[in-house]
Amino acid sequence: IKLTSTKLGLLNPEVQIPTYDRRQVNPHTVHIGVGSFHRAHQALYLDELLALPDTERWGECGLGVLPSDARMRDALQGQNHLYTLAERSADKQSARVIGSIVDYIYAPEANEAAVEKMANPETRIVSLTITEGGYFIDEGTGNFLVQHPSIQHDLEHSDAPSSSIGLIAEALDRRRTRGVAPFTVMSCDNLQGNGHVISKVLRAYAGLRKPSLETWIEANVAFPNSMVDRITPATTRADIAWLATRFGIDDAWPVVTEPFLQWVIEDTFSNGRPQWERVGAQFTTDVASYEIMKMRLLNGSHLAMAYLGALAGFTYVQDIMADQLFVTFIERFMEEVTPVVPIIPNTSVPEYKKSLIERFSNPTINDQVTRICSEGSAKIPKWLLPSIQELLDRNLSVDLLSLVVASWIFYLGKGVDEAGKTLDIIDARAAELTAIASSAEEDPSLMLGISSIFGDRLFTNAIFQEKTAGALHLLATVGVAASMKQYLKRN
């Protein structure tokens, strides 16, 4: 059955459908970057909240700013902005139609409508999941990339901007001049201190436009930090076919995700917010500790399995986790990292680690190894190197972590897996890094000396240099499995 609002009643009764009147839903949130993750996470929280009695009818309007978002606009518009969210694990498969997105604007063809939607007093939150690239931040320095062509374009055409930053700034400026209270700007991207990042970028941009706007933003706009978690791979044709066969739904672009989800938010909003705590979100003043726990254990483990797994020829995360050597390696990796994982009240680190092993092992998620390997030059400095530095500062072991760093360098330098198959290396710095990494086996200092990745302290740390060089040499001589075994035996 083709998914549309008039056909909801005809769907397989196993499929959960919106029980609320979608005509009453107000899109108080405008969300930029309606991709897989947003539709598996924040849109679901709103859908659950809308289904409860006595709640504000708080829904959202999607906003796409890239040309490639035309596909999402077409998919959603063809089905009254409804879509199916499927949860899969070894013992459970469920499907639910999400109704919280009630409108969608495709900015490349309607940027005035996009700005006016956000400038409208009905809009109370503008949220984002636009990937790291959407923030125009230099990975090395953390500075705003003023010279970026999109930013230069928007500064020259500030009343008809095309980037997320330009659009948000223009909408805030119109609210300011019209005497309308600002919306909250809420980043839900996987960036440490995501609220701080978007605040810094937006204020820097506003300052270049007009200092009075920057001052107004600083005084009035809230930028809550948040930690978001739910492993959600890109939807495949096989997922679409599976949904049709298993639940009888013909959906142009469903989302398939894992059962686990978590959202930890700082409670600072400039213009009200939905009562997300009623549907499982956690409010705290200490988002940073949750972020560090997640980045060091979840994202760190992803890196620990990614490059070794790619070199060993694996395609999916679940296949890596079906190999006991890798499971033991990941468990021991997490043990090595644990001394630098913060203690959080009411959170058990052993339980968290156990749940990660289960989540990674979910045999139905088909999370691709190429996805977790991608953009290593941005991920390694955030998810691995801070753990190494802190462990070294405390004279603790970094053996397994060094092997992981070495595996990334080896993967970049080799370009093929152990069976000789070409690796699909996705990284904004791929050309530069693969060239440097190809000679790293003889002399890793050139690679480890890249200060925009490794910083200055690790470059001058003899233990880290020696351990990484040793691990590289071992990988080159005995291969992935034998290297991992040697490390596990030694530690």
| Closest among 363, 366, 353, 387 to 458, alpha carbons compared | 387
Residues 466-485 that bind ligand NAD (CB under 6 A): none
C-alpha to C-alpha distance for 457 and 466, rounded to whole angstroms? 14
187 near ligand NAD (CB under 6 A): no
Could you tell me the smallest distance in angstroms from the CB atom of residue 133 to ligand NAD?
Answer: 4
Could you tell me the smallest distance in angstroms from the CB atom of residue 422 to ligand NAD?
Answer: 24
Q: Pick from 65, 185, 292, 306 the residue near ligand NAD by CB under 6 A.
A: 65
Looking at the Cβ atoms of 243 and 484, the one nearer to ligand NAD is 243
- Total residues in contact with ligand NAD, by rule CB under 6 A: 24
Both tokens of 411, joined, read 């993967």
Looking at the Cβ atoms of 22 and 73, the one nearer to ligand NAD is 73
Q: How far is CA 309 from CA 179, 376, 423, 425, 444, in A?
A: 55, 14, 11, 13, 22
Looking at the Cβ atoms of 220 and 361, the one nearer to ligand NAD is 361
189 near ligand NAD (CB under 6 A): yes
C-alpha to C-alpha distance for 258 and 92, rounded to whole angstroms? 10
Give the binding range for ligand NAD (CB under 6 A) out of 31-39, 85-93, 342-350, 454-462: 31-39
Nearest residue to ligand NAD by CB is: 35
Q: What is the three-class DSSP state of 344?
A: coil
| Closest among 128, 161, 133 to 60, alpha carbons compared | 128
34 near ligand NAD (CB under 6 A): yes
Q: Pick from 27, 33, 274, 381 the residue near ligand NAD by CB under 6 A.
A: 33
C-alpha to C-alpha distance for 165 and 214, rounded to whole angstroms? 13
Neighbour-count burial for 15-48, b at 16+ CB within 10 Å, e otherwise: bbbbebebeebebbbbbbbbbbbbbbbbbbbbbb
Looking at the Cβ atoms of 231 and 297, the one nearer to ligand NAD is 231
**Contacts by residues 238-247 (CB-CB < 8 Å, ≥ 24 positions apart):** 238/366, 239/86, 243/84, 243/86, 243/95, 246/93, 246/95, 247/11, 247/12, 247/14, 247/15, 247/84, 247/86, 247/95
C-alpha to C-alpha distance for 378 and 429, rounded to whole angstroms? 9
Cβ 221 vs Cβ 190: under 8 Å? no
133 near ligand NAD (CB under 6 A): yes
130 near ligand NAD (CB under 6 A): yes
Could you tell me the smallest distance in angstroms from the CB atom of residue 413 to ligand NAD?
Answer: 26
For 391, phi then psi, to 5°, come to: -65, -40
119 near ligand NAD (CB under 6 A): no
Give the binding range for ligand NAD (CB under 6 A) out of 33-41, 50-58, 197-205, 263-271: 33-41
**Residue type (1 letter), 124:** R
Between 288 and 327, how does the x/- string for binding to ligand NAD read (CB under 6 A)? Answer: ----------------------------------------
36 near ligand NAD (CB under 6 A): yes
Packed helices 194-209 and 164-178: angle between N→C axes, nearest 10 degrees: 70
Could you tell me the smallest distance in angstroms from the CB atom of residue 136 to ligand NAD?
Answer: 8
Looking at the Cβ atoms of 16 and 192, the one nearer to ligand NAD is 192
Looking at the Cβ atoms of 316 and 487, the one nearer to ligand NAD is 316
Could you tell me the smallest distance in angstroms from the CB atom of residue 485 to ligand NAD?
Answer: 31
Q: Pick from 27, 64, 182, 309 the residue near ligand NAD by CB under 6 A.
A: 64
**Quick one: how far is CA 147 from the chain centroid?**
25
264 near ligand NAD (CB under 6 A): no
Kindly state the helix (H) or strand (E) to which residue 311 belongs, with its residue range. helix 300-311
Give the binding range for ligand NAD (CB under 6 A) out of 51-59, 225-233, 300-308, 439-447: 225-233
Give the binding range for ligand NAD (CB under 6 A) out of 115-123, 226-234, 373-381, 424-432: 226-234
Q: Pick from 3, 25, 66, 85 the residue near ligand NAD by CB under 6 A.
A: 66
Which residue in the block uniquely carries the two structure tokens 């320095």? 141
| Closest among 154, 158, 165 to 128, alpha carbons compared | 165
131 near ligand NAD (CB under 6 A): yes
What sign has the CA pseudo-torsion 441, 445, 451, 455?
positive
C-alpha to C-alpha distance for 296 and 284, rounded to whole angstroms? 20
List beta partners, residue 85: 96, 255
List beta partners, residue 30: 61, 126
75 near ligand NAD (CB under 6 A): no
261 near ligand NAD (CB under 6 A): no
Residues 137-166 that bind ligand NAD (CB under 6 A): 164
Give the binding range for ligand NAD (CB under 6 A) out of 127-135, 207-215, 411-419, 454-462: 127-135
Residues at the site binding ligand NAD, with contacts judged by CB under 6 A: 33-38, 64-66, 68-69, 129-131, 133-134, 164, 189-190, 228, 230-232, 234
